[in-house]
Structures are given as C-alpha cells and as structure tokens.
Amino acid sequence: MKQHFDVIVIGAGHAGCEAAHAAARLGAHVGLCTLSTDTVAHMPCNPAVGGTAKGHLVREIDAIGGLMGRAIDATGIQFKLLNRSRGPAVWSPRAQADKKMYGRWVKHALDAEANVEWLIGKAGRILVSGERVVGLALEGADEYACEALVMTTGTFLNGLIHIGPDQHAAGRAGEPPSRELAESLKSLGFEWGRLKTGTPPRLDRESIDFDRHADDGTFAVERGDMPPVPFSFLSGAIDRPQIDCYLVHTNDRVRDLVRANIDRSPLFNGQIRGIGPRYCPSLEDKIVRFPDKERHQIFLEPEGVDAREIYVNGFSMSLPRDVQADLVHALPGLEDAVLLRPGYAVEYDFIQPTELTRRLETKRVRGLFLAGQINGTSGYEEAAAQGLVAGINAAHRALGREGFELHRDESYIGILVDDLITKGCLEPYRMFTSRAEHRLLLRIDNADLRLTPRGRDAGLVDNERWDRFCRRRSRFDRNLCVLETTPLRASSGDRVPAAQLLRQPEIRLVDLIAQGVVPHFESEPSSAAIDIASAETTIKYAGYLRRQQAEIERSRKDERRRIPPAFPFERVPGLSREVVQRLNQVRPDTLGQALRIPGVTPAAVAVLASYVGRFTPHPNML
C-alpha cells in the first residue's frame, strides 16, 4: 500500500470536514479523500445554517469543539433567532451563508491542521481483512492503509439526477456518482435503501428588480436581526452588514401549471422510486398533498454578498426545464427572471443506520464509521453532528482510546444518533425540537454548560477555550446566587429574593437589573445575552427543570442496564417472533434503547430485563 493513515475520511462535505477536523485535533494522522478541494463544505442546496432544532445541533457542535458554528459566524450574511415569541426551549438561530466564503473558511481551517492530508481522487473499494477495515483503494491503482475509515458520501452512492424525463448519473450537479464504492459497500452485506432529495432553480440576480418590487409591495422584505445572535460560544459581536431576503407567494397560475404537468413529474409518473423528505416537500408534493391551500411561501435568498445566484427557497422541483421556467415566471415579480440552472431531484443509496453502534461504527466491520446522508439523514447540520461523533470515535479507535457517546437526555446530537440506530429510516431524517423529550433542558443557551466538559474529556477542547468556559460557568453559578440572595420589593410591599420575582411570568431579568440586581456578565453583548438567558431560564422554569431531571434519573435505570453484544434474544421465553426479529435487527445496547424500538412493547422489555439479569454469556459469544 502507498501510505498509512490513522484515519481516512471519504468526502469533504459538512460531515467529512467535521470528522477530519475532530480526528486531526485528537492527534490522528488523517487522509481526507475528495474529488476536488474547490467543493469543500459545499452547499448544493440552501446556503444556510441552523433553523428550528438545527440551530441547537450547531450550538452543540460548537460546544464540543467542532467547526460549523465558527464557520457560519465568520461567513453569514443574514442572521435570525427563530421562535422568539415562544419559550426558550425552541429558540433557534439561523443564518444565510455566503456560499463560497463558507467553503473557503472551512478549507482554511482544515489546511491549518497539520495532521490533515488531502487525498485528491475518487474513492473506490473499502479494504477489509476479516471483520476489520484496513484501508481504501481509489479508483485506479492507489491504495492507502488505515486503522479507521469514515464514509461521508452524501448523495453520491449510485446518485441519479432527474429533470423531467432527463436522467443522468451524478451525485449532484456537475459531479459524478460513486458506483464502485457503492458496490464495495454492498458486498459487505449491509441493509440498503434508496432515498430522494431535491433542489430548486437558481435565478440570475441581475434579472430581478428587487428594489422596485419591494417598493410596490410585490416582495415582502425579510431582514436579519440586529444585533445578530452568533452560533459559536467563542464569537464576539458580528457587525458586518446583512443582506435582505424577499418573500413572495405562489398563486393560482402556479397551482394550475403544476396540475397540468403533473404527469411529467418524475415524482408522480413512477420514474423516481426513492423516498423523499416529508417535511421539506417539493412544489409538486405541496400542490398535490394540500389541494385546498391557496398559496405557499417562497423566499428569494442570495447565495452570497456578490453572488449572481438567487436561491428560490420552497420551490424545489423535478419538472422539465420548460415547465420550471413557466412556473418561475408565474410568480409575482419574476415575470422576466432568468434561470441560471433548473431544479432537480436526486436519488441515492443509503445504509440503514440500524447497522450502526452509538459511536456510528458499523457492527459488521470494525473501524468503519458512517456519517451524514449515507445514514438516511437530510441537512448540513445533521451531517456535521454525525461527522463530529464519527470523527472522534474513529480517532479513538485508531489510537486505542475509549469511545465517545452522547445520549438523548444530554443533547440533540444524542437524540439524532439514538433515533437513527434505534428506529432506522423510512424517509430522510430531519431534526425537530419535538423529538426531544426533555427539550427545556436542551436549550441553545446552555449547550456549552452541558457539553463543553464532554468535549474536554474527548480531547477537543483546548486550554484557551476551557479557561473561557470555566469563567462562563463561574458567572452562571454566581448569577444564580445573586438572584437567590438579592432582596427586592414586591408589589405587596414585602422584600423578597429577586429569584422569587423572576418566577412570575411577566417579570424579566432585565426588569430586575433596572431595580438593582447586579449580575455578573461579560461586557461583550452576545456573551452577556447568553449569560442572561441561562440565568433567567434556570430560575423562571426551575420547577419544570427539576421535574424533567427527575424523569431522566428514572429512565437512566434502564439506560444503565446493558445488554451483551451477542445476547441471544431468540432464547428468551415469551418474546414473539416479531419482537425477536426487531431486537436482532437493531441489537440494542441497553434496555432503554430496546424500549424505544418500534414494535417492541414494554411487556417484552420487562421479560427481557428479567432474563438479561440472569444471563451469563459463554466467552466465545462475546
């Protein structure tokens, strides 16, 4: 073999970049395999980061020591904090990115890591010896040895693009699919499926008179927040100018055009067999599934400060080119818009994530890790979160260290991983706050308090960041003490602790500061905002937080009950054939995970718990 690496990462998308960065920071020699460094951290769909629940993932990635939060803070062109009118559990940051600047920033960050080496070429075969990965062969002749391999192939495995009746093999526009690699994976016996995603047309910015249509009311102007709310706990104030986005709505003409051409849509004429995302449907899907809805929101979003392309958010489709042009021109204000590129749907292969352990390592092949869309997920944020977990564990595997696991009661990343390995995917998986049983505990403001110690234990948090975190944690503790011990006059005339007043729904911490409470905050506004949010939420929702923490402690009893890896479920009396089949498919590592498997009843888990307690495996079974 040509060269030996501790870890090889296939793919330099969001999952691959986080995996390579994490593994390199942990001391592993990393080979990052990609077709071109021009598409590092590429954003082939919406050039944005965050959103509802996705913003939670980015904050957690940052808290552990990942890249995405710092990257978007450095290159974002419009920032918003979503769901401000609702409770703090669902506040979520979102930012529009300058697409090219974002990729350049991430590439620079990887270039700065001495342990990362670029492997330019097309990944071919996974090299396996026994049940352990030993290397990667590129298409051609080059072979590289490794101790661990992370696959982050996105939509490239047997990728097929559809634009009306036109089909061509591609992972995404302008890039070839991975066929040899797909066949190499299939030969290892993994359970496969096929999914579909899509992207909307891109329009020429110069062909749209944004100012005129904003003035005459055709476009509603969507502006960012001032001041912007950063993603990273390390970022200071973001004082760059922000761009405007614009909102339009579909109309009867759009609906009639879709209905008249629905037989030409690959989604509805049988041409596409992959399952698409239910929560991010194409235009054809929206018109057919919601026939009574008179209009749908469409956002016009620039792909960069000086970029020519306008992303038509909400207008994803796979109709023929001529129909797409007619549909764009049917939107108000876009009668003269020029299409730079049509929208398309892409089908691709994925591996059922029930094939994985909690560390995102495959159960069939030791040292082989999967992250991103290959696991059935959608979204840059979900991919980056998996890449971080896989990269940490690949480095630990290669260097002989203890693995890294996150659980659903401590992070959205843990929920993501647990959902995937326990339930698998029947459609592309997307993160929502509703997936979190204890979302009041898993807020964006306390992601560092929850996870930076975990990142430190894993080896990703350096001394400078740790010192900064310790000061932040100290401020948090002191602020709680100040609120519990500072007396203020209540409306009744009595003097009571400030914390008691803060528990009233209408009272905010800023009101108490005006009355004389002197908390400990950083002078930098974005850090002060996090300090305020953490202290206020902890006091105001103290009863709910204690209740959720008690629920977690009760459920942890089941999470602590381990199931041996080779446990013979078929030998447990009283389990139905269906339950045994599901248990053998997922191979849960705890009784808690077994309880979350679809089709496995609480009664079945009670029987299993009794038998696990008595089971002593033969040494050859483990």
pLDDT at 621: 40
* pLDDT higher than 90, residue 610: no
Is 11 in contact with 151 (CB distance < 8 Å)? Answer: yes
Confidence class for position 1, pLDDT limits 50, 70, 90? low
Task: Name the token pair of 1.
Answer: 């073999």
Confidence class for position 622, pLDDT limits 50, 70, 90? very low
pTM: 0.94
Q: What burial letters (b/e) apply to 458-481, b meaning 16+ CB within 10 Å?
A: bbbbeeebeebbeebeebbeebbe
d(CA 176, CA 159): 8
Taking alpha carbons only, the member of 312, 316, 342, 320 closest to residue 262 is 320
Task: Name the token pair of 199.
Answer: 């992207």
Q: Are strands 3-10 and 143-151 parallel, antiparallel or unpaired?
A: parallel
Q: Any idea which architecture 202-344 has in CATH?
A: Beta Barrel (2.40)
Mean pLDDT over the full length of the chain: 93
Is 223 in contact with 244 (CB distance < 8 Å)? Answer: yes
Beta strands in 35-165 (DSSP E): 48-50, 76-82, 92-97, 116-120, 123-129, 132-138, 143-151, 160-163
pLDDT at 104: 98
What percent of the chain clears pLDDT 90, i.e. is strictly above it? 83
pLDDT tens, 154-209?
999 999 999 999 999 999 888 999 999 999 999 999 999 999 999 999 999 999 99
Q: Where are the domains of the chain?
A: 202-344, 462-546, 562-621
Task: Name the token pair of 65.
Answer: 């020591």
Q: Which residues contact 186 (CB under 8 A, 6 or more apart)?
A: 192
- Bridge partners for 128 per DSSP: 133
pLDDT tens, 274-301?
888 777 789 999 999 888 898 999 999 9
Residue 348, classed as helix, strand or coil, is strand
Provide Rg for the chain, Cα atoms.
25
What topology does CATH give the domain 462-546? Arc Repressor Mutant, subunit A (1.10.10)
Residue 116, classed as helix, strand or coil, is strand
Return the DSSP state at 314: T
The distance between the two most distant Cα atoms of the chain, rounded to a whole number of Å, is: 83
Is 200 in contact with 317 (CB distance < 8 Å)? Answer: yes
Q: Was domain 562-621 assigned CATH 1.10.3720.10? A: no
Is 14 in contact with 66 (CB distance < 8 Å)? Answer: no
Taking alpha carbons only, the member of 307, 325, 303 closest to residue 201 is 325
Q: Which residues contact 75 (CB under 8 A, 6 or more apart)?
A: 97, 98, 101, 102, 105
Backbone phi and psi for residue 127, each to the nearest 5 degrees, phi listed first = -95, 125
Return the DSSP state at 292: T
Confidence class for position 564, pLDDT limits 50, 70, 90? confident
Task: Name the token pair of 508.
Answer: 């905010």
Task: Name the token pair of 127.
Answer: 């090299």
d(CA 335, CA 329): 4
Residue 293, classed as helix, strand or coil, is coil
Is 263 in contact with 319 (CB distance < 8 Å)? Answer: no
What percent of the chain clears pLDDT 70, i.e. is strictly above it? 98
d(CA 267, CA 318): 7
Confidence class for position 620, pLDDT limits 50, 70, 90? very low
Other residues' Cβ atoms within 10 Å of the Cβ of residue 173:
15
